[in-house]
Structure 1
C-alpha cells in the first residue's frame, strides 16, 4: 500500500484511503443490503476523480444503476454482464450473462493492457457463482487479481456473507491480500456484526443488494480493513 494511503487511513474516510492504494486485491464482504456496492462505488469515484483509470465489472445489476457521479468522474469504463436486457450507457461493454466469463475477460484484458495503476471493481463474486461453477470463476479471478497486482493497481471484489459454504469462502479468500468488512449498527445504535460467523450458513445468492430496503439505507455501515499496512483492523464509520 502507498505511504499516502497509510497516512490517510487515520484521518480520512476509508474509501478515500483505499482509492490511493496500489498493488492490492481486497475482498469486500458483508451481509446483503449492508452497502457493499455503495462502498466500492465511493472508492472508484474517489480514484477516478484523482485521475486513476477505473473499471467496474457489474454482474449484479446493470450499468444504468451506477451513479452519475461515478460515470461523470472520467477515466471510468464499465463491463456490464448483468442478467436480463442491458442498454449501453457511456463507456460500457456489454456481455450477455455473468456465465460468459470468456466474454467478460476480453474487455477486462483490453482495459488492463492500457491502464496505469488501475482500480478494478467486481460486483459481485456471489452473482458470478450463481451463474457459473466455482472452478471457472476461481480461474477468472485468479488471472484478474494477478494482473491487477502486477499493474500496481487495486482490486475490490464484493461477496455476500451467508450466501456460500465455509469451504467456498475459504477457496476464494486465498486470492486476496486483505479484506474489507462492512457491518450495520442495530436499531438501538449498538454496533452489531451483521454477518457474525455467517460464512458457514449457505444460502442462495440472488444479488439482492441491488434493491436496498429502507432499513439498509437509514444508517451508515461501519467498515474494517484487515491485512493491509496502515489500517488498524478496527471497526469505524465508513
Structure 2
C-alpha cells in the first residue's frame, strides 16, 4: 500500500498561514496562584469562579479544607500553610513551566479563628508576616517578583448558627481583618477586605454559618476581581 505524499505547495501554504497567526495564540496563559482553605476548594469555589470569569488566565489553586496560616490544625502539619508553602510554590512553578504567577492571592484565616486557637491569636500576625516573607524570598532567589494580594476571610454567623469549634470566631475574625490591613500596608501587599462589606448579608451567602454557597462564592469572586490591581479590561462588566 502506497502512502500518499502531501503536496509540497500545500505544505508551504499551511506553514505561511501558521506564521501569519498572532503569537498570542501560542503563548502560555499568564498564571495566578490562589492559596486558601475549604472556601477555596471545589468546582464552585472562588478560585474556580475566578477561572470562569478569567478564561485568559490559568488559575493554579492550592486551597485545602482545614488550612490555616501557621497552625497545625487538627494536629496535622499538612494543614499548616506556612509549613507547606515551599511545596505549593514548587508545584506552581512546575505547572507554569518555570514562570512566576502574575498574582498570588492569599485567602486564609477562618481556621486560625477557631476556638481551639483562641489563646494564640497573637501568632496570627507573625505567621502571616512569615508567610508573605517566605513567598517573596522564594521568588527573589529566582529573580522574579511576587505580586501578593491579601484577602480577608469572610464573616462567620452568630454562635447559635455554627458548630462549637467556631464559637467566638466572628469576633476573632474582625480582629484578624484589622491585623491584615496593617500587614498589607507594612508589607506593601494589595489588600481586599471581604469581611466588612459582606457581613450584613452573610446569612444569605452561607450554608452552615462558615462556608459559602456557590452563589456566594461567585459574588465574592466578582468582588475580588473588581478590587484587584489589574487592568480595567480584565474586570467584570468591562465593555470590549
Structure having the higher strand fraction is: 1
Report 1 or 2 for greater relative contact order, CA contacts < 8 Å, sequence distance ≥ 6.
1
Which of the five TM-score ranges fits, normalised by the shorter chain?
Answer: 0.3 to 0.5
Structure 1 length-normalised TM: 0.43
Structure 2 length-normalised TM: 0.43
Larger radius of gyration: 2
